A = this chain, B = another copy of it.
Amino acid sequence: MIKKEKTRRAPTESDVAKLAGVSQSAVSRAFTPGASVAKATREKILHAAQSIGYQPNLLARSLATRRSNIIALAIGNLENPFYAMVVKELSEQLAETGRHILLFTTPKGDEADPALERALSYQVDALVMAASMASIELTMQCQKAGVPIVQINRETKLPGISTVWGENQRAGELVAAFLYKAGHKKYAFVAGTKNSSISQMRQNGFETYLKSAGIKKIKTVYGDYTFEAASIAARSLLSAKNPPDAIFCASDYMAFAVIDVATREFGLNVPKDISVIGVDNVPEAGHSAYDLTTFSQPAGSLVEEAINIIDKMIADPGRRAIRCEVAGELIVRGSAKEPKDGFINNVDNKIWLE
């Protein structure tokens, strides 16, 4: 009594050809935009295809054309909503040109290669890395194979890897200026991982501004871009003898952890007792539970530039790596004391321009 549907194999070009009374190559042409087919035969073919539910086998096409239309995405930190947005944006924007993501989740640390070698084997058209890092070997392999790599939000010393990031230096400077002009005296920075160049650039901007303003002591602590590590970092910061009253975090996600610890464990009021500012402007930053002041890093724009780069590299494989910076702005919400002036009202946000 079990109904066993025979899973007959999918129809191919030859099946359609037979039905339409043409050659198999004609069928191929009918499905190739711009190929030369008479209108009448084309229609006859499409009709036949329709009737038996023919769909081109993209694997076979990829093999023949050496273009898979699939892009490998290596992502190291999907817990962070910023990277969840990157995935979503990349998937949607690629879909506009009929391309798709082959996903590789990599350990958060660095150098996630063994898995990524498989990506090359799948003949992906490009590799994008987010919160993840390519090793030298992988980079060389990609270069040899003509597969462009672009990193989102991370720098490499490795040549030949394109990069797109936000305004990291400016983020640090602007946040410093904002806090300084709001009257803060004791500063701390919650960094990402130790070797994160992005974090270093933000830190650099932050410290450069403050030092030139005469602030010498700026404590730095590492949150490793995770909620747990950032919580621990916050505890060490706040339980010191002379705790900071202004904390800049290298990501919103870590800022959330800092706010949680400050308010729940130390009974502090944000922003009365302590100001906290992040970077990214993830959706949660707008939730009133956190209501986070933050320097934005628009995932949509980052991804858009990443795709631009991929397309350029594919069009001209000999091309050098491209680096691209995407503008952000300091979005003012309720987690930090404010300076007197310098504000402007954007479409949806109140932003600060110094």
B-contact 0/1 string along A54-70, CB 8 Å cutoff: 01111110110010101
Chain A residues numbered 80-107 whose CB sits less than 8 Å from any CB in chain B: 81, 84-85, 87-88, 91-92, 95, 98, 100-105
In the complex, whether A158 has a CB less than 8 A from a CB of chain B is no
Does A256 count as interface, using CB distance less than 8 angstroms?
Answer: yes
Interface size classification for chain A: 35 or more
Point out the residues of chain B lying under 8 angstroms from A81, CB to CB: 79, 81, 84
Q: Is the CB of B53 within 8 A of A318?
A: no
Query: A196 CA to B324 CA in the complex, in Å?
Result: 43
Task: Using A53-B144, A283-B79 as known contacts, say yes or no to A2 and B320 having CB atoms under 8 A apart.
Answer: yes
Please tell me which one of the listed residues B2, B115, B259, B318 contacts residue A5 in the complex, with CB atoms under 8 A apart: B318
Residue interface mask A34-71, B partner, CB < 8 A = 1: 00000000000000000001011111101100101010
Does A264 reach chain B (CB closer than 8 Å)? Answer: yes
Report the Cα distance A339→B325, complex, angstroms. 54
Distance, CA A143 to CA B5, complexed state (A) = 8
A residues 259-294 with Cβ under 8 Å of B? 259-261, 263-265, 283-284, 287-291
* A141 CB, min distance to chain B CBs, angstroms: 7
Stretch at the interface among A20-28, A119-127, A164-172, A179-187: A119-127
Q: Given B4, B60, B73, which contacts A318 in the complex, CB threshold below 8 Å?
A: B4
Distance (whole angstroms) from the CB of A51 to the closest CB of chain B: 14
- CB–CB A144/B5 < 8 A: yes
B118 & A100 in contact (Cβ 8 Å cutoff): yes
Instruction: Give the distance to chain B from A234, nearest Cβ to Cβ, in Å.
Output: 11
| Residue among A120, A123, A144, A317 with most chain B CB within 10 A | A144
Residue in B55, B101, B141, B264 whose CB lies within 8 Å of A102: B101
| A8 at interface, CB cutoff 8 A | yes
- Alpha-carbon separation in the docked complex, A350 to B205 (Å): 44
Query: For the complex formed by this chain, how many copies does it contain in all?
Result: 2
Task: Determine if B121 and A55 form an interchain contact, defined as CB atoms under 8 angstroms apart.
Answer: yes
**Is B290 a contact partner of A57 (Cβ separation < 8 A)?**
no
User: Is the CB–CB distance between A7 and B53 below 8 Å?
Assistant: no
Q: Is there contact, CB below 8 Å, between B101 and A256?
A: no
**A105 to B91, Cβ gap below 8 A?**
yes
For A317, the chain B residues whose CB sits under 8 A away are 7
Q: How far apart sit A242 and B284, CA to CA, in the bound complex (Å)?
A: 30
Tell yes or no: A238 within 8 A of B by CB: no
State how many angstroms separate the Cβ of A152 from the closest Cβ of chain B. 16
Some 20 contacts from A to B, beta carbons below 8 A apart, are A7-B143, A53-B141, A56-B121, A59-B59, A60-B63, A73-B103, A78-B87, A79-B84, A87-B105, A91-B104, A100-B104, A100-B122, A101-B102, A102-B102, A227-B287, A256-B287, A260-B289, A264-B291, A265-B288, A289-B290
